[in-house]
Amino acid sequence: TRGTLILGIDTSCDDTGVGVVKLNTDGEVRVLANRIWTQTVHASYGGVMPELASREHVERIDAVMGDALAEAGIAVNDIGAVAATSGPGLVGALLVGLMYGKGLSQALGVPFYAAHHLEGHIFAAASEAELRAPYLALVVSGGHTHLFDVPHEGQYVLVGATKDDAAGEAFDKIARLTGLGYPGGPAIAEAALRGDPNAVPFKEPLQGQKAFDFSFSGLKTAALLAHKAGAKPEDLAASFQRAAVHALVKTTRRAAEAHGRQTVVVSGGVAANRALREAFAATGLRAVFPGKGLNTDNGAMIALAGAAAIRAGRPPSPLTDGAVAYAP
Ligand code: KG4
Ligand code: ZN
């Protein structure tokens, strides 16, 4: 069938992601390619070094783009639109993909769409099911724990967020504390399979709140104390995971009820968590998750956000708009 091939680029942090999606004339979208280069230069620093991240993106982006075109089985001239993340993220890193995308769109004479990183995470779920507003969207990653209501296409109302750490950050910190390794999410999930979720008592964060917020620093402190008291890493992992999943699901479910939403999109790195997926499936809500390889930062989700913008009839973005560390 005929349609538009959209190239998506994400260089917001330490992953160089380029993806290709096809938007058919009937509005259906399909992911044709999703290539990610994950930087390893930061390992010895214990965190992402912004300047090193920018340089690595510059060195890698051509190759990742070539891989994505090859995976999609298309030529560069087949691209009908380009989308790139403009924020939020590390400004220097963002600029690499943003400028690359703008330049490419100019060279090809096709429209350019600047994408919000979180909108990209949300639209990653469009790989699995048609996403039509209204719905609720929970973005849970290493940098974000944000709950949005999406009453209409392209309109995002923040209804809740973390008051301290992001959910993924808590997984990462507790994994480091207990020596389970990095990245912490998969390490905790794996260890939890061998642990007792009742072994370590965790108090529910923000219990009794009327709002729809999240908090993970209390769980982190409780984990530290339990660790010092000699709790086994796998028991800590299982108990913490259950507490974190419970908090995420309970608050999201309350928000869905309050806003009258039946569909919940759960995306971002932590959405890969099996226990979280099972807990959402048990709520009776229609829970939609991104497909394989689309939970963590990637370019295909940005191409999907671009496809949604095109489908909604949004005008292309001005090439004069820059990268923003904190996008609204
Ligand atoms: O979306 P992402 O790649 O980057 C950010 O924008 O932050 O998310 C990465 C985060 C990390 O904190 C990682 O530990 C977490 O997602 N994560 C998981 C799982 N896989 C990745 N957390 C829980 N369970 C998992 N299976
Ligand atoms: Zn992200």
**Domains defined along the chain, listed by start:** 3-125+295-311 (3.30.420.40), 133-288 (3.30.420.40)
Q: What sign does the CA torsion over 218, 222, 228, 233 have?
A: negative
What pLDDT was estimated at residue 2? Answer: 79
Distance CA 223, CA 239 (A): 9
Place of tokens 């691209």: 79
What is the spatial order of strands in the sheet that 15-24 belongs to? 29-38, 15-24, 3-10, 81-87, 112-116
- Model confidence at 1, pLDDT cuts 50, 70, 90, reads low
Pocket test for ligand 1, best of 12, 13, 141, 169 (most atoms within 8 A of CB): 141
The partner residues of 288 in beta bridges, in order of sequence, read: 265
- Model confidence at 328, pLDDT cuts 50, 70, 90, reads low
- Model confidence at 147, pLDDT cuts 50, 70, 90, reads very high
What stretches of the chain show up as alpha helix (H) in DSSP? 50-72, 91-108, 117-123, 167-177, 184-192, 217-228, 233-259, 274-281, 300-311
For helices 217-228 and 167-177, angle between their N-to-C axes, nearest 10 degrees: 10
* Range of lowest pLDDT (99-108, 197-206, 318-327): 318-327
Q: Please indicate whether residue 272, judged by its CB atom, sits closer than 6 Å to ligand 1.
A: yes
Q: What is the ipTM of this complex?
A: 0.98
* pLDDT tens digit sequence for 151-187: 998 899 999 999 999 999 999 999 999 999 878 999 9
Q: Is the pLDDT of residue 40 over 90?
A: no
Contact 101, 71 (CB under 8 A): no
Q: Is the pLDDT of residue 104 over 70?
A: yes
Which ligand is the nearest neighbour of the Cα of 275? 1
* 171 Cα: distance to centroid of ligand 1 (angstroms): 8
Distance CA 314, CA 39 (A): 33
Pocket test for ligand 1, best of 90, 296, 301, 302 (most atoms within 8 A of CB): 296
Q: Is the pLDDT of residue 46 over 80?
A: no
Q: What sign does the CA torsion over 283, 286, 291, 295 have?
A: negative
* 295 Cα: distance to centroid of ligand 2 (angstroms): 8
